Amino acid sequence: MAGLRIAILFKHRQSGRWMLPQIEELRRRGHQVMVVLPPGPGPLPTELNRRGIDVVESPFDFRFRPNLATLRGLWHLRRLLRDLRLDILKYHLYAPALAARFTSVGLRLGRVHVVVGPLFLESRLIRTVERWLWRADDVVICGTEYTSRQYGALGAPPEHRPATTPGIDTGHFSRRRYVAEQRHVANRRTGAERDHAVEPGSDGPTAEELRAKIRAELGVAQDAFVVIMVAYVYAPKRLTYNGRGIKGHDLLLPAWQSFHARHPNSHLLLIGGGFSPPGETHRRDLVRRFGVDTDPSVTWLESVTEVRPYYNAADLSVSPSLSEGHGAPVEAGSMGLPSIVSDAGGLPEVVDEASGWVVPAGEVAPLEAALVAAYREFEAGELTRRGDAARERMVKFFDHGPAAERIADIVERTAAGVRTR
């Protein structure tokens, strides 16, 4: 099957690069893909334009307010979808899913709902509504087995809720690729620049030299046990987890304070600012509440353009989320880092007993105990074995290439089913 017209509804302009392999696979198969976004600049539309992927401005901003503007925006979105003459409407995140379901009623097209994170299903109110609304989708592609089970509990049959991870580029997230790229950059330098970049006579920096460089820039001892957490800070939600931040920063920071007091040769590296203005407000509250600004054992970088150098400089990744899909441990594992994860959402699917630890979500003491266990292996020189196992697991189960092919297969089957109605 070729020549499908496919539109993807998405509400963020700052994130969403994980969709790109799926889009490229659909285009490789001869389908026309366009992405419908609210107007305005951002990294996502910039990258889409660079790749020659059509970006269509959405007349609806995916904010549901009880006013006439919402109805007007939905009406104009319906007209847009009708005029695009689509075979498939694919939508990510819950607000675009609601908009897609409402505005595509009566249109002869396939509806593909892609669910990466399960947070919205953990709201009792939304679960009640979704018990009926999932029937508006021809298929719900669940990013985790956990999400698929959630939809199963709402009555969706197995064929309606296939579990398929979006995956990541395990070639890009690898120490070998990162080091090779840094050597290429170093070897393009000449004269004094090269002399200062690498040791004389070498072909470029090694992984160990790159690790030492980042640690020196952060002011971290070269022999320290470095723990990394990569996550945006999201503002607490009223409808889930009693108004607590979902990424678990408020769990890791007290666990870290207790752990570091007993293991001073350690450092915590947090990467990620507030995802939105309310998220940044919450981040600043965490900094004040836990004295991060005055704690030399913690470094909090709000944003970085390239995260691989920091994974390379770390020994362990931690993801203590209250709600999560597969999250940062997939990137960390691909870079050869073992992980401590909570048992929330799809996180336990990422880590096995050879590559990390799973702890109860929402509890500080088990998180600290896992840090202690990881530190013991670090001191004994055994932690790298877990990192090697993590890398093998990510390549086998979480690479974006096979994942994009599976998603494209589902899209094509959905279109074929629509054509036979």
The whole-angstrom separation of Cα 120 and Cα 161 is 16
* pLDDT per position as a tens digit, 23-46: 999 999 999 999 999 999 999 999
> What DSSP line would sit under 107-165, residue for residue?
--SEEEEEE---GGGGSHHHHHHHHHHGGGSSEEEESSHHHHHHHHHTT--GGGS-B--
Domain range spanning residue 369?
Answer: 175-397
- 337 touches 251 (CB < 8 A): no
- 115-139 as b/e, with b when 16 or more CB fall inside 10 Å? bbbbbbbbbeebeeebeeebeebbb
**158 and 191 housed in the same domain:** no
The whole-angstrom separation of Cα 33 and Cα 84 is 11
* pLDDT per position as a tens digit, 360-399: 999 999 999 999 999 999 999 999 999 999 999 999 999 9
- Tell me which amino acid residue 326 is: H
Confidence class for position 196, pLDDT limits 50, 70, 90? very low
In degrees and rounded to multiples of 5, residue 242 shows phi and psi of: 50, 40
Q: What is the pLDDT of residue 276?
A: 84
Q: What is the CATH number of the domain that holds 244?
A: 3.40.50.2000
The whole-angstrom separation of Cα 210 and Cα 198 is 10
**265 and 285 housed in the same domain:** yes
* pLDDT per position as a tens digit, 107-158: 999 999 999 888 888 888 899 999 999 999 999 999 999 999 999 999 999 9
Q: What is the pLDDT of residue 417?
A: 87
The whole-angstrom separation of Cα 26 and Cα 16 is 16
Confidence class for position 241, pLDDT limits 50, 70, 90? low
Q: How many CB atoms lie within 10 A of CB 372?
A: 14
The whole-angstrom separation of Cα 204 and Cα 193 is 12
Give Cα 7 to chain centroid, integer Å. 22
**325 and 252 housed in the same domain:** yes
The whole-angstrom separation of Cα 27 and Cα 18 is 15
**293 and 210 housed in the same domain:** yes
**206 and 259 housed in the same domain:** yes
* pLDDT per position as a tens digit, 204-239: 888 899 999 999 999 999 999 999 999 998 888 766
The whole-angstrom separation of Cα 337 and Cα 333 is 5
The number of folded domains in the chain is 2
Which residue do the tokens 């919450």 mark? 282
Proportion of the chain above pLDDT 70, given as a percent: 95
Q: What is the pLDDT of residue 199?
A: 43
Mean pLDDT value across residues 176-200? 67
**253 and 380 housed in the same domain:** yes
- Tell me which amino acid residue 249 is: H
Cα 237 to Cα 80, 243, 251, 311, 328: the distances in Å are: 32, 5, 17, 29, 21
Decide if pLDDT at 203 tops 80: no
Helix (H) / strand (E) element for 271: namely strand 266-271
Q: Poorest-confidence range of 43-52, 101-110, 115-124, 297-306?
A: 115-124
Confidence class for position 348, pLDDT limits 50, 70, 90? very high
Task: Considering only the C-alpha atoms of the chain, give the largest distance between any 2 of them, rounded to a whole number of Å.
Answer: 70
**58 and 201 housed in the same domain:** no
**278 and 407 housed in the same domain:** no
**140 and 39 housed in the same domain:** yes
CA atoms in the 13 A half-sphere facing the CB of 52: 4
Q: What is the pLDDT of residue 76?
A: 97
Q: What is the pLDDT of residue 129?
A: 93
Q: What is the pLDDT of residue 192?
A: 44
The whole-angstrom separation of Cα 230 and Cα 173 is 14
Q: What is the pLDDT of residue 201?
A: 41
Confidence class for position 1, pLDDT limits 50, 70, 90? low
Mean per-residue pLDDT of the chain: 91
Q: Does pTM surpass 0.85?
A: yes
Q: What is the pLDDT of residue 202?
A: 54
**263 and 350 housed in the same domain:** yes
Mean pLDDT value across residues 192-213? 67
Mean pLDDT value across residues 343-352? 95
Question: Which two three-digit tokens encode residue 66?
Answer: 């009880």
**195 and 313 housed in the same domain:** yes
Decide if pLDDT at 197 tops 70: no
The whole-angstrom separation of Cα 314 and Cα 333 is 12
**226 and 322 housed in the same domain:** yes
* pLDDT per position as a tens digit, 3-18: 999 999 999 888 788 8
Q: What is the pLDDT of residue 240?
A: 64
Helix (H) / strand (E) element for 346: namely none
